[in-house]
Structure formats: C-alpha cells, structure tokens
Amino acid sequence: MSARAPRSFGSTVPNLLALVRDPLELFQRAAREQEDVLRVVLAPGITLFLVNSPELITEVLDTQLARFGKPRQLGDIRPAVGENLQTSEGPGHDRHRALAEPVMAPPAVARYGDTVVGQGVRMREDWVEGEVDLHPQMLELMFRISGRALFDCPVEQEEAGVQEALETVLARCQRYNLPLGAVLDKLPLPSTTRMRRGRHQADAFLDRMTARNRGGDPDRSILAALLAAGMADAKARDEALFLFLAMRETIGDVLTWIWYELSRADDAQAALQAELDQVLGSEPPTAADVPRLHWLNGVVNEGLRLYPVGWGILRQLKVAHEMGGFSLPNGSYTLVSPYVTQRDDRYFPEPTRFRPDRWGGPTPPAVQPGSYLPFSVGPRSCIGEHFASMGLPLLVATLAQHWSIRRVEGEPPAQAVPQFAIRPKNGVRVRRVRR
C-alpha cells in the first residue's frame, strides 16, 4: 500500500489562534483523534505534523534522527540562547556533546548532591507556616543550586539582577516558538529592547563566571569541568547559559507541580512522609538513600509524567519521509509532545490522575518505549537528565521530611502554560504546615 497524506486537524486561522492562546489544549484536542500522525496547518507555508505513536516517536527522535533536523524557522531559539547542545546539530554538536556528556554523567553530577540537600535544608529552615505561592520559591531554590553547581558561586549574594535577566531570555525563547516570532524580534518594540538588554546582562555575568572558572578545579563546578575538557570559552558560555536556564526553570517548575499534586492528594503525601520517616528518620537524604525510597521515586516519576521538562520537541524534515504509512514532505515540521503522549489513555490508565502507585516498587513497571520521555530519548536527549534525576528526589525528600503542603480551600486549579518548560500560569498557592 502506498503512503498517504496524514489527515488534517482543524483549519489555519483557528489553529494559529489556539497555538497563541493555549498550545497544550490545541495539541491535546488533536491527540484525541488518536491518529499516529496528524497534520496541523498553523500559517501559510507552516505545516506541523503531530506525532503521537510511541513507535514513530522513537523514529523521529532516535532511529531516523538524521532525517529530522533542528528547526530553522519556527522554534529556532538561537537568537535568544546562542549555539549550544539544544540548538546546534551536525559534527559541531557531536564534538561538544562528547565533551559535555562526561561532565553531566551520573558519577560527575553526584558530587553536587550535598549542595542540593544543603540548599533544601536552608530553605526548609527559613519557612514559616501559612499560605504562599510556591513557584517563585522553587525557582529561587534552583537558582541557588544551579549557581553553585555550574559556577561554584553563591549567585544570589554576588549577582544582583541575574534572575530578571534570565526571565527576559526565557521570554525571547517563547517568542521564537510563534510563527511570527522572528519578525517581532526585529521590530523596535519595548519588549525587544528589554529582551536584548537581558541577554547582554546574562552574557556579562557569564563572562565573569567563565573568567572565575577558567583554570579552576574541574571537580568544583560544571563550567570549570567544561573548560578543562577543552571547550572554548564562547562555546562554554553558551552551554552554561542554557544549562543555567534549564536547571533553574525546568527543575523548579517540576518541583512546583509535584507539590501541587501532593497538596491535592493527602494519601499520597502521607505515604511519602511515612516512607521518609521509616528509611531516613531525622537524617537528611543522600543520593545513596534514593534507590530505597520507592514511593518517593513514584512521586517524582509521576510528576515528570504529568509535567515533563520539555512539553514539545520540534523537528524539521531535511528530506521527504515516509513513516507509519504516511508521507511527510521535505521542510515540514514534526512535533513530539511528551505532555500529550504521557496523558494519553492508550499508554497510561487514568492519564490525568496523579498516581505514584503506577510506578510500582523496587522493580519499575514495563513502559512502552516512546510513551514515557520526560527528558526526550535518543542521541539528543536532555544533557541535564542525570542532574534532574538526582536533584528532584533529594529536594522532595528534604522538604517533605519537615513540612506538609496543603491545598488552599477555594483556590482554583493551577493552569499549565508551556514556556521554556511547563509553568503554572498564576503560580501555585498552597498552605505550609510544619510536621
């Protein structure tokens, strides 16, 4: 049987408006059609194919990766963050990946476990009972942790305004995810001026951090290790910028969502705290403790299922391609959305319910390859996966040992919005209760 064109979803103008208003809702509606590949026209000349089959997802991200390049129009965030492992491809990407992978491998990032727990302890000791928006607190926590791990620097004490600069870089990334983002970025708008000023401020900070870490002990910071491995200053700076954004934003967002779900699931939170009391007692957690904390790992895995660090992975075809019986033209975009796939009831029963028990005990359950990909898969999977996989359980355990997080009566459900990661639109207001 010859390959056929995928079925179309919606029409151009409504699709474009929905993309601007609520991309997650648009692609979840499209996924309900339960088509392996679905054609979504966003604007004249911009056609996107939503891929929502685990087998075909694996093809896009791994086995046929050479055919699916980084986007060079829609979703090209290089003007915002430069050339780094996220935005580059080809031999240059492969060389820098080879330098960065040992620096971000489990044995290397394990040395930052004490930093992660130490900053978690510092935060929990500063907390007081009462209502609070947890989102900015989790971002602040990860800002402190990532500054120390990346630069061996207490950034919150030494670098005023850096968080605000990072926010403007994030906003510029979001702009380039829209069909007219590149055009807006060339207009003399106040927002454009603010975004460019933020990038200059971030670059100046990173230049100072590069000078601080050049020739330093590679065991003291990730940036020093990248420089010691032979990465040029300019490349190391761009990698450090992206890692700084990713570590602060993605881990901070996932932490916020985990607490949000726990605040609405008293039984799950009680089971977590009972396990921590039994295994850890009053001692802070260590990386060696995490494999024994089965419920904790289920909580983290379930948080990553519902709120993966990357909501959408965009690729652009370099050649015409046939997959799953469908024909995709050269130059078209493909979107793999872990957020959508991991909420599909074909792969996860009760897909929108927070169920840590679905991850079992000491033996992880069998999950269909390509259906659970919170850090992507294949040769271009997230370079920070191991740091996040270490940091998330340690921070959840450190805070949950001493505090319970409760929902605020009458507070509306948090709304997920896709930016660099998945943010809560209006924060997450909860009530902290000392244990």
8 A C-beta contact, residue 321 and residue 69: no
pLDDT of residue 185: 86
User: How far is 160 from 205, CA to CA, in rounded Å?
Assistant: 10
Instruction: Classify residue 83 by its DSSP letter.
Output: S
Longest CA–CA separation in the chain, Å: 66
In a 10 Å sphere around its CB, with 0-12 CB exposed, 13-18 middle and 19+ buried, how is residue 154 labelled?
exposed
Region at 208 (left for phi over 0; alpha for psi -120 to 50; beta for the rest): alpha
Among positive and negative, which fits the CA dihedral 3, 4, 7, 8? positive
- For residue 41, list its beta bridge partners: 47
- For residue 323, list its beta bridge partners: 326
In a 10 Å sphere around its CB, with 0-12 CB exposed, 13-18 middle and 19+ buried, how is residue 283 labelled?
exposed
Distance of CA 315 to the CA centre of its chain: 17
Element (H, E) at 314: strand 313-317
**Residue 356: closest CA among 428, 303, 287, 400:** 303
Give per-residue pLDDT as tens, 359-395.
987 777 788 999 999 999 998 999 999 999 999 999 9
Distance of CA 87 to the CA centre of its chain: 15
Instruction: Classify residue 66 by its DSSP letter.
Output: G
User: How far is 107 from 98, CA to CA, in rounded Å?
Assistant: 16
SS3 state of residue 407: strand
User: How far is 89 from 86, CA to CA, in rounded Å?
Assistant: 8
Q: What is the DSSP secondary-structure string of 339-378?
A: HHHTT-TTTSSSTTS--GGGG-SSSPPP--TTT--TT--S
Element (H, E) at 151: helix 134-151
Instruction: Classify residue 60 by its DSSP letter.
Output: I
Class of domain 83-310+342-434: mainly alpha
Element (H, E) at 317: strand 313-317
Buried b (16+ CB within 10 A) or exposed e, 42-73: bbeebbbbbbbbbebbbbbbbeeeebbebbee
The model's pTM:
0.94
SS3 state of residue 323: strand
Per residue of the chain (435 residues), give pLDDT as tens: 578 889 999 899 999 899 888 999 999 999 998 899 999 988 887 889 999 999 999 999 999 999 999 988 888 888 888 888 888 888 888 888 998 999 999 999 999 999 999 999 999 999 999 999 999 999 999 999 999 999 999 999 887 889 999 999 988 888 888 777 888 888 888 988 999 999 999 999 999 999 999 999 999 999 999 999 999 988 898 899 999 999 999 999 999 999 999 999 999 999 999 999 999 999 999 999 999 999 999 999 999 999 999 899 999 999 999 999 999 999 999 999 999 999 999 999 999 999 999 998 777 778 899 999 999 999 899 999 999 999 999 999 999 999 999 999 999 999 999 988 999 999 999 999 999
8 A C-beta contact, residue 299 and residue 356: yes
Angle between helices 385-400 and 233-263 (to 10 degrees): 40
In a 10 Å sphere around its CB, with 0-12 CB exposed, 13-18 middle and 19+ buried, how is residue 311 labelled?
buried
Element (H, E) at 313: strand 313-317
List all residues 6 or more positions away from 380 whose beta carbon is below 8 Å from its beta carbon. Answer: 61, 65, 85
10 Å Cβ neighbour count for 175?
20
**Residue 247: closest CA among 20, 50, 53, 421:** 421
1-82+313-341 in CATH: which number? 3.30.43.20
In the chain, domain spans: 1-82+313-341, 83-310+342-434
pLDDT of residue 307: 97
Region at 5 (left for phi over 0; alpha for psi -120 to 50; beta for the rest): beta
